[in-house]
Structure formats: C-alpha cells, structure tokens
C-alpha cells in the first residue's frame, strides 16, 4: 500500500546549547496535525545538522527555535551556510526568545531578517498563524526549486513560465 505524501516538509529543532524541549514538541504536534510532515531534530541542534537534514529530507523549510536567548549568536551566518550547501532558496523561520535583554521585537525581527531569515516570530505567536504563513510561503517558493529544493541535488536550472 502506498503511503500518502505530505505536500509540505519541514525540519524543526532547537538550535545551539538550548535544551528547552516542550515548546518544540508542541510546535511539531500542531504542524503535524495540519498535514505538514515534520522532521523534528529535537534540542541542541547545530546549523550543520539542520542543513544536512534539510538536504536529506528534501525539505521546504527549516524552522529554528531558541528559547534561552542566544539565538542571535547561534543563528549567525545560517543563510550563508545554506547557500554553500545548495539550499539558497530554502525558507528559514526562526522564533522564540531570540536575544538576551529587553529589546523591542521590531528590532529583533529586523536583525534576523538582515541575517537572512524569511520570518521571525516572538514567543507569543499563534501557531495557527505560523502554519498559514508557512504553507503560503512554501507555495510561493515552489517554482524556484521544483518544489523540494532540488538545487541541493545538483539541479540548478529553474522552470520558466
């Protein structure tokens, strides 16, 4: 019997030395209930582990969580590393308690957008909103990489309209 294939495939994990697991499990459960295939790497995940999993799983997006405040440090050069491995078009989402100290979320968001992330979420985000944005963003990116970031597999030619 053939197994149904999800239309959306994402890599999820908690970056760096952060070991906060509860929120990560909740995010995985919510995404999974909406038909998104989630490869949950768990906690204390390096950038390279995220990227390797995205290549192996042909993921549409990488979702990075950080609760302990060191996300700004842990996520430095993440987009560049993705590009080096052929994942320049992959969606990068980040959310949580991303910085130490009191900073306006608009400032934090701007910093992470400048770092190459496509979406930045505060710890209070509604997961339903994340799901809606994620599905929409994946659909809008699909023509760029044949739907599953095939550039990572040596296919760099794009479909023309």
Structure tokens at 87: 């994942």
Active site residue 60: no
User: In the beta sheet, which residues pair with residue 62?
Assistant: 11, 92
Catalytic-role residue among 18, 60, 74, 118: 18
* Residue 20 among the catalytic residues: yes
153/156 Cα distance (integer angstroms): 8
Distance CA 153, CA 94 (A): 25
- 123 three-state secondary structure: coil
Please give the structure tokens belonging to residue 18: 């952060």
**Which of 20, 70, 137, 148 does the annotation list as catalytic?**
20
By annotation, the residues acting in catalysis are 18, 20
């Amino acid at each position: 019997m053939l197994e149904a294939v999800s239309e959306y495939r994402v890599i999820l994990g908690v970056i760096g030395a952060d070991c906060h697991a509860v929120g990560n499990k909740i995010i995985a459960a919510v995404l999974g209930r909406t038909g998104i295939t989630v490869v949950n790497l768990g906690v204390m995940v390096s950038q390279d582990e995220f990227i390797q999993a995205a290549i192996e799983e042909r993921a549409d997006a990488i979702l990075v969580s950080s609760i302990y405040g060191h996300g700004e440090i842990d996520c430095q050069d993440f987009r560049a590393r993705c590009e080096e491995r052929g994942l320049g078009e992959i969606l990068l989402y980040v959310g949580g308690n991303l910085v130490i100290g009191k900073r306006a979320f608009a400032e934090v968001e701007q910093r992470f957008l400048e770092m190459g992330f496509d979406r930045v979420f505060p710890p209070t985000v509604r997961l339903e909103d994340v799901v809606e944005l994620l599905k929409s963003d994946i659909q809008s990116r699909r023509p760029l990489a044949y739907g599953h970031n095939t550039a990572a597999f040596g296919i760099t030619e794009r479909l023309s309209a």
